Chain A
């Protein structure tokens, strides 16, 4: 089982709709969970971090964490064409390591 799994997509969502991105992880000891956005040819940009079960909202973004199910998700409300990017789920492993999933390509349809 891969440490961090994501559907590679592409996920196509109409402009203005909610985009839902999902991620599962294998290490039950993980405590820190992140969502990064990466535009083509650019470096990853941290958009959300979450450390405890439940929801965390920041503007149009909501991160959800369920440690019992080892599941992290990212919701993007009112999707915009500028949200089209690859979204990387990242999870810490023992020690000061962050491991990335393969990423989900999101395409917002105008």
Chain B
């Protein structure tokens, strides 16, 4: 299994809703990531989990709340989002390297629209 699976593929939510994005990998990777990508822009790092612990938070607003229940799962909980949060949310995973970052495997993404 060499895939990162993200669900749902599409999500439309109101600004008062609470929803969650889910990411799953079974490659034994110990680092998992959330990126946000707006149209015609590069992916922007949001969070990094290393060995199930949050290691990097790129000053993301608290309306985005990550969770790593186990080494295979990564969630992103969404609450009180704004229309400008509409984007493609990408999950990625990688093997932990020793001083050298190895390449990521990306999931297919969740296309989020906030109305």
Contact = CB atoms under 8 A, between A and B. Distances in A.
A67 to B, nearest CB: 13
Interface residues on A, range: 20 to 34
A46 B103 contact: yes
A36 B102 CA distance: 13
A58 interface: no
Interface string B13-54: 000000000000000000100000000011111001010000
Interface residues of B, number: 25
B107 A97 contact: no
Nearest to B108: A43
B50 A42 contact: no
A6 B29 CA distance: 30
Contact of B31 (A34, A96, A101): A96
Contacts of A95: 48, 55-56
